[in-house]
Amino acid sequence: MSGQILGDRYEVERQLGKQTGRWTLLARDLQTQEQVVIKLLFLDEQLEWDDLKLFEREVEILKALSHPSIPRYLGYFEHQLPNDKALALIQTYVEGKSLEQCMQQGRLFTEAETKQLAKALLNILVYLHSRQPPIIHRDIKPSNILLANRQAYLVDFGSVKALKNTNETSAFTVVGTYGYMPPEQFSGRAVPASDLYSLGATLIALLTGTHPSSLPRRGVKIDFGSAATVSPEFAEWLERMTEPNLEQRTKSAQEALQILEQGRQTPNPANPVVKPANSKISLTKDSRNLEILIPSLLGQTQLQIDPQQISMTTKRLGFQTGRPQVSPRHRINKLEYRRAIAPGDAEPQLTIWAGSEKYELSHLLLTVPELDWLAYELSTWLKLPLN
């Protein structure tokens, strides 16, 4: 098709990709003289209804996106063929090398390089998942990530899905790539955390030089430990990203990014920290309320969190000392745990932040094992990472 004019404006230069019923072309816009990408879908007897649905969805979603690391929508038209016709999507061209091409050339990425890519891609996912409705890519893999001008780009939105309901569980078209798809996607379900699994699997591929489908498994988990040399913290982060159990996987791109940047993990419910055997602390909780009672020599400290507020009161000899500390529940935004590791470190302290208000649990009342346990319980219940 080289030299052919499409839409009375775009001169085809070469083919970039070809699938059954779909072509991807590099062309030049004769009005602007800029290179563009044209995605053609052929409307013939071999066309599957799902292919048309996905193509139309890609057009509509790209129209609504505006991000420097996502190809920009430029136009859409119908192209008449001798016997049939085709639909054409025009988008900006990113001249770069895909991560798949890097792998084929034998390149292995270091932990530092992989973390840098992870942060860039997580920022893109934060943008997509925070849209209303949330947008799920559903096909993150090395061939759909380009490196150009020292920047990472997420491309090919042909499998994209707008999640109209965050609790949506109904089945829809199964899309994705084996090895990079989380288990729930095999049954036609995808949620924002599904993209996190695919991203984690992609990062593992970069570190090992091997596609996840060819790596050994530990049960249903990707076993990359023997194929990649990374720090224990980063290995744990990757394991949480690629956790097959959706309930135990990292919940959001924002959480994944925060943990990666700050180096602290949200405790894994699969590996709970248990209450020390000799502790006299009382902790009661349900899905809406949590109460911690910490006894002292002459009284107790009470921390309560309910749907409306967080409060802390201290009693001595049965009498309340000072005014209770109270803040609206919705202002709780950070959980900070400073744990002494070596001699000379600051004393251990667990702090709940509600805006600028601090609710502190310190070593003066608690042992380090007790603080470890409470940090786990609060982080799990509040769904906040430890900073």
- For residue 44, give every residue at least 6 positions away whose Cβ sits within 8 Å of its Cβ, in sequence order, or none: 21, 83, 84
Question: What pLDDT does 171 receive?
Answer: 44
What three-state secondary structure class fits 169? coil
Q: Print pLDDT tens along the chain (387 aa).
A: 788 899 899 999 999 988 777 899 999 999 999 999 999 998 877 777 788 888 998 999 999 999 999 999 999 999 887 777 899 999 999 999 999 999 999 999 999 999 999 999 999 999 999 998 899 999 999 999 999 988 999 999 988 878 765 454 444 556 678 899 999 988 888 899 999 999 999 999 999 999 999 999 888 899 998 888 888 889 989 999 999 998 889 989 999 998 888 765 556 565 678 899 889 999 999 989 999 999 887 888 999 999 999 999 998 888 888 889 999 999 998 888 876 544 444 577 899 999 889 999 876 678 888 988 999 999 989 988 877
- Domain(s) labelled CATH 3.30.200.20 in the chain stretch across 5-92
CA distance 23 to 37: 10
Q: What is the rounded CA–CA span in Å between residue 74 and residue 385?
A: 40
44, 68, 113, 142, 217 from 94: Cα distances, Å: 30, 11, 21, 15, 35
CATH class belonging to 5-92: alpha beta
HSE on the CB side for 311, CA within 13 Å? 12
Strands 145-148 and 35-43: unpaired
From edge to edge, which strands make up the β-sheet containing 332-338? Answer: 332-338, 349-354, 357-362
From-to residues of CATH 2.30.29 in the chain: 282-382
Q: How far apart are CA 222 and CA 225, in angstroms?
A: 9
139 is catalytic: yes
Task: Please give the helix or strand (H or E) that residue 126 lies within, else none.
Answer: helix 111-129
Cβ pair 17, 24 in contact under 8 A: yes
Residues of the chain with CATH 1.10.510.10: 97-262
For domain 97-262, which architecture applies? Orthogonal Bundle (1.10)
The residue from 29, 51, 139, 306 that is catalytic is: 139
Looking at the structure, give the CATH architecture of the domain made up of residues 282-382. Answer: Roll (2.30)
